[in-house]
Structures are given as C-alpha cells and as structure tokens.
Amino acid sequence: MWFFARDPVRDFPFELSPDPPEGGPPGPWVLHRGRKKATGSPVSIFVYDVKPGADEQTQVAKAAFKRLKTLRHPNILAYIDGLETDRCLHVVTEAVTPLKMYLKERAEAGGLKELELSWGLHQIVKALSFLVNDCSLIHNNVCMAAVFVDRAGEWKLGGLDYMYSSQGNGGGPPRKGVPELEQYDPPELADGSGRAVREKWSADMWRLGCLIWEVFNGPLPRAAALRNPGKIPKSLVPHYCELVGANPKVRPNPARFLQNCRAPGGFMNNRFVETNLFLEEIQIKEPAEKQKFFQELSKSLDSFPEDFCRHKVLPQLLTAFEFGSAGAVILTPLFKVGKFLNAEEYQQKIIPVVVKMFSSTDRAMRIRLLQQMEQFIQYLDEPTVNTQIFPHVVHGFLDTNPAIREQTVKSMLLLAPKLNEANLNVELMKHFARLQAKDDQGPIRCNTTVCLGKIGSYLSASTRHRVLISAFSRATKDPFAPSRVAGVLGFAATHNLYSMNDCAHKILPVLCGLTVDPEKSVRDQAFKAIRSFLSKLESVSEDPTQLAEVEKDVHAASSPGMGGGAASWAGWAVTGVSSLTSKLIRAHPAAAPAETNVPQRPTAEGPPTPAPTPVPATPASPGHWETQEEGTDTAEDGGAADRWDDEDWGSLEEAESVLAQQEDWSPGGQASRAGQTSNLAAKSPESDWSSWEAEGSWEQGWQEPSPPEPPLEGTRLASEYNWGGPEPGDKGDPFAALSARREAGAQLRPDSWGDDNWEGLETESRQGKAELARKKREERRREMEAKRAEKKAAKGPMKLGTRKLD
C-alpha cells in the first residue's frame, strides 16, 4: 500500500494572489496579496523561503513569526494564521500596504493631509510605548519599511525580526546584516565610543525621528540630513529635535512624547485624533458621552478621509445602533458616510439598518428618517418598501404629533413611485382623505393637497377620476387660505388628467367661485387657472380633432411622466419649505392652535431671528397663463406642467407674511388687519368644520359629486355687482358682503358641485340632529342657571359661621 504525503501549502486555507509581490521589509520576507479560500476575504501573506546555509536568517524569521503570533495590540500588525514547514514560512495578517507604497499612491492622488499623518504617527508611537513600557521589548527596527497601512488608513507597526528584551534575558540585539537598516541606528551605536545607552527607549526614539523625517521629506539619504527638518510641520519640530538629539538621555519616553504632542497647539491635538481616540474607547463610554459624540461627528466627517469613514466610522455607527442606545443621533453621520459607499455596499450595510429603524417607536428616529428619506430612497426596492417600510410609515398619519404627520405626508412624494396598487390607490388615499377633511392643522391639510397633486400621475385612471376633482374641490373650501391656493394649483398641475367635459362641468364652476374669495392670492391663482382651462376648451372647440390628443392621458395607466413634472416638485414637498406646522409646534408645544384663516405668527422667546424673505405667490411672468394663439395648442398642453412648476409652491411657507400684506377686505374698510385676525382666531373650530365632520368618516373614500344645489337666498350674482367702481354709499370692497357671510356662517356651505359629498354619506339629517342636540344643550344650560339664581336670591347672603345645608 502506497501512502502519499499531503502538501501542507496546498491544504493551507489561504492562497497567494497571482499578482506580483508588493515587496516587504528589508530582509528575507516577501509580501504577497492573498485571500481566504472559504470566503474570498483579502489578506496579506508574508513568505520566507528557507535557503541552505542561511541558518541565522532562518532563526531571525522564526523569531519574528513567534513574536507576531503572541503580540496583540491595535497598533501592531494583526496576526491571522501561519504555516511553518521545512521549506518555507507563511505568516498571514490583515490586508495591508507598505507605508512607502501607500504614501506614493496618495501623493499621486493629491497627497496626505496633516490630520492623517498626525494620527498615523500617533499610532506608531503608541505601539512603541506598548512594547517598551508594557512588554519591556526593544523593537530595534523602526523605519518606513516596518510600517504598514490597512484599508481604513490605520498605521500598523511590523518588522519584528530584530526585536529583543530590554531586561537582558535572551541575549543582546541580533545582528541585522542589512546595510539599508543600519543607517537608522543611533550615533552612540555606530561611533564605537562605548557610550552606554542610558534609557532603554533611546535607540527606538532615534529611529522614530528618522521615520518622521522620511514621512515628510522622502527617503533619508544620510544621517546628517536629520539636522534640517525640511517639510516637518512647525508644531512638530521641537519634539522632533528631541528625538534626534545626540545625547540619548534627553530623548523622551514614547508616552511622554505623545503627551507633549497632544498638548494645546500640538501637532496631534486635532479633531481627527480625538475622534479616533474616542472610537477606540467607545465601548466603555457613558451613554451621554456617546450621544454628544455622535451629534458632533457629522460636522467633522467632511474633513475626514473617505477610507477612514467607510472602514472605521461606519462599523462603529452600525455597532452603536445594533448593540447600544445611540438612537436617532446616528442617522445624520450614518447617511453622510453612506455617500462614500457603492450601491452594493449600501444594500448590504445601510439598508438593513434603515428597515429596522422604521419599526422603532422612537419619535425622534422616525421623524429624522422621514426628513432624510431622500438620501436612501433610491436604494430601496419595491418589495421592501411595500412590505417593510410603508406599513410602519402609515402610522405617522395617525400620530398625535403634527410634525410627524406633516413629514409623513411629505415622504409620500418619494415613496409613491414604489408603492403597489393596494397601498397607493386604496390605503394611502384613505389617509389623505382623513387628513384633508379632519386634521386640525391647516398646513398639514395644505401639504396633503400639494402632495396629492404631485403624486397624481402615479394613481390609476379610476382613482384619478374618483379622487382628484373631489379632493381639490374640497381644498378650495378650506378655511386656511394656503390650502385653497393649493387646491387651485392642484387642478392646474394635473390639468392633463381631466376630460374636457370634467373641465367644463366640474372644475371651472369651482374655480369661478374662487374669483370672489376674500384673499387676493387665492383670486389671482383662480383667474390664472380659469384662463388656462378656458384656453384648452377653446382650442378643442376651434378644432375638435384635437380632443383625442388633449385627452390622451385621461384614461392612460399611471405614469410619472403624465403628472406635470412630479420630479421637479419633489424638492418642494421634501426640502423646499420649512414647516408651518413646526412653527406652530414650537410656539405652542402644549396644545394645537385653533383653526384660523390667517394664523397669527407665534412670537418666539429669546433673541429675534431674521424673518425669511417672503416669496410672492404669483409667477414672475403673467403671460404664462394668457390664452395662446391658435396653432400652439399642442405645445401648450405639453408645457403646462412646466408653467405650473414656475408657480411658487414654496410661498405657502410664508402664508402669514403674504396674507399680512393683502389689502383690507373688511366691510367699509374700517376693520384693521389685526382686528380681522383676532376675530378669525376667536371663531370656534366647530363652526368651521361642522359641515365636514358631519359628512362621515374617511373610510367611505372619495365619491362622485352630488347634483347642484341652488345658491343661498341673498347671494348676489356676478352681473349684479358694480364692476365699474364702488356703489354709491359703499366704501368697502364689492366682495365684502360675501366675506362677511363666510366668516359669520356657522358652517361651510356646500357649493353647487357637492364636492363635500366625496365621503358618500347623507349630511343633511346628521347636520339637523347635531343642531337640534346643540339647541337642547343650550336650553338645559339656561334652565340650570335660572334655578341657581332663584335659590341664591331666595336665601340671601350667608352669615359668617353658618353651614350650607343644600
């Protein structure tokens, strides 16, 4: 029976790369790139081939193998595995690059920053301090060839071939026999004068001075060149001079050298070094310290090296989220570091964390995720959004915090393209209907209308037909003026999704009613929208063959290209407007403000902040909305979306400023703007919303409008106004009477298009019951007050010391 000896090199779990070797420290070792056979992870493999007659070198190599295997320190080259045979030695370490090669590559790419060099030298000095002070070992080979750099830019000390004990056991320093290394020996060893080294670290600190000189000035030609610091930074020069002093007694201990360089104004006293030191000890830091660190980290990441952010900061952020209590503070630095990753790395490292964060009940984390969704939405696939993200996000629609509700609405602009049929056309529309009808915050109702207009192109044809007209018509009756403006702009932004019949019978009558709106900004937008729709109707009337072209998108399937440039609107809904709701929350954290037409701007405590410059609600060029010449109908239809993009949707942020600048529309011009605001603020929310609340819950969805109703008694037709000027004896505006009726009414009058019936319930009976119940409560209250007054009058005032029996 034949037995074949197994080849240990072939069975070794690591293999050499076919690429040429990267060199290595001077001596017998050769550095190769390699990988682990099982996982393919990269490693570095130092190879020594045993040669006949080189017993001394072989013993040095074996000693280095043993030292590297037993020494464990973050700043010393990390040992992974090894192989020792009669023919060779293989030492497997973490993947590294020789410092000389690393500096050359970075010089070609623009050079290293002083921040990186300061931290690199800090690591080498710290490794020397560990060897000398903790292990009583002399490295005896500190030079550029003994330093390596990992993928995160961390410097590692290697080259342990000639290490020996400072306590004298095990013999003296081994003979190097390599001329390239002997030039780094200190003068007291080379001159043969017999001067004894007074301190055990003196020789290594001289060699550290040589390393510093080479890092900043290149290869050291001769020892005399050390007298000229060259490009060494001024803050480091005094400490460098101590290292290369001729007297070995003045060379500082490595620990003292670090202390000197970390002093205020020192070379290693900077934010980058402080960040690295904190990360090294983050596991033992207090939670409050971690919170403060992560809050300040994002400000510094822009100046940190990319490799450091990817390979050192990112793992610590992920660990802090997974096992710590960092919470929402890690989101900002996490997404900032994520910009350095490619798509595959982002999917592997960031997306699983993001998905898990969405299930958190921490409000601060949820709102920061919604605010920064734009940074990671492109990496989310549709199944993940529909099954793991959206079910958690929709809880924000029902949150009691208005800021979360508002950010949830705005986030739908980014999520809508990835939602499936059920989530987009059914679930989301239910929540939008509820918010638009019943939310007590005007800006949230306004943003709901804006978002619906922007995602209208993604809805199915049946949902568009059932929802859009009713929703925008409802918005035009909102007491909050910017919501009415949003309703008008929503009609215009989705103009290509309506048939000509709907434009004439359902949309234009609603818009015409807004031409007598109390707010001029609403009237201006209404007139522009009317001219736009009339232009389309007129062009089809002149040339009926254009009808098919104009209505091509009405029954088409959902497509992001139909909705009038939703992509260009995305900047508004997510980042273009600072939240009005947030202002209200900051001003009134304890209670939501009452609904008003013109909300009071809250007065913030402390030093005043400069008010933002209001942006006019009307576009710069009114010609955009003028009727186009014949023959340009097709171009107008295709460019209407661009014109609506020109509309300043962002002006809703400045609703208070814009409305405060409007003319005085009160009867007779006698009521001031302040008086209007106070009167509106005193109006009961029940009177504003009684008609909407009586219509039923949002589960019914949007329904078809009901048949028209005749106008209320006393309503004047447009033809009855004196459009040429003010009527005799009337000092006010011709619209003042309608404005007064609107403010004095106990409930919103459903217009002739019955859009308030989009929830599909009978309202008249419920309104009658509610009114009857209110009257009964009022009568009962008056009766109780009368009885109490009678009892008090019959008995007279109570005497001191008497006891009240009833």
* Residue 743 or 326, more confident: 326
Residue 359: the pLDDT is 86
Residue 506: the pLDDT is 93
Q: Which long-range contacts (CB under 8 A, 24 or more apart) does 346-352 make?
A: 346/376, 346/379, 347/379, 349/314, 349/318, 350/376, 350/379, 351/376, 351/379, 351/380, 351/384
Residue 222: the pLDDT is 86
d(CA 360, CA 355): 10
What the block records as the tokens of 795 is: 């008995």
What would you measure as the largest C-alpha separation in the chain, in angstroms?
129
Average pLDDT over residues 144-153: 92
Contact 383, 416 (CB under 8 A): no
Residue 246: the pLDDT is 84
CATH of 98-272, one of 3.10.129.10, 3.90.950.20, 1.10.510.10, 3.40.50.150: 1.10.510.10
Average pLDDT over residues 137-149: 91
Q: What strands, in cross-sheet order, belong to the sheet with 147-150? A: 96-98, 147-150, 155-157
Residue 316: the pLDDT is 87
d(CA 124, CA 118): 10
The third-level CATH classification (topology) of the domain covering 14-97 is Phosphorylase Kinase; domain 1 (3.30.200)
CA nearest to 471, candidates 504, 430, 443: 430
Q: Which helix (H) or strand (E) holds 16?
A: strand 14-16
Residue 595: the pLDDT is 40
pLDDT digits (tens, 9 = 90+) for 592-603: 333 434 333 333
| Number of C-beta neighbours around residue 767 at 10 A | 16
d(CA 183, CA 220): 9
Asked whether the domain spanning 98-272 has the same topology as the one spanning 14-97, the reply is no
Residue 567: the pLDDT is 39
CA nearest to 30, candidates 73, 88, 74: 88
| Residue burial 42-81, b: 16+ Cβ < 10 Å; e: rest | ebbbbbbebeeeeeebbebbebbbebbeebebebbbbbbe
d(CA 109, CA 418): 40
* Residue 572 or 71, more confident: 71
d(CA 799, CA 88): 114
pLDDT digits (tens, 9 = 90+) for 415-457: 999 999 999 999 999 999 999 988 999 999 999 999 999 998 8
Residue 267: the pLDDT is 94
| Chain centre distance of CA 669 | 48
pLDDT digits (tens, 9 = 90+) for 683-711: 333 333 333 333 333 334 444 444 444 44
d(CA 431, CA 406): 12
| Number of C-beta neighbours around residue 13 at 10 A | 12
User: Interhelix angle for 633-646 vs 481-493, to 10°?
Assistant: 150
- Domain residue extents for the chain: 14-97, 98-272
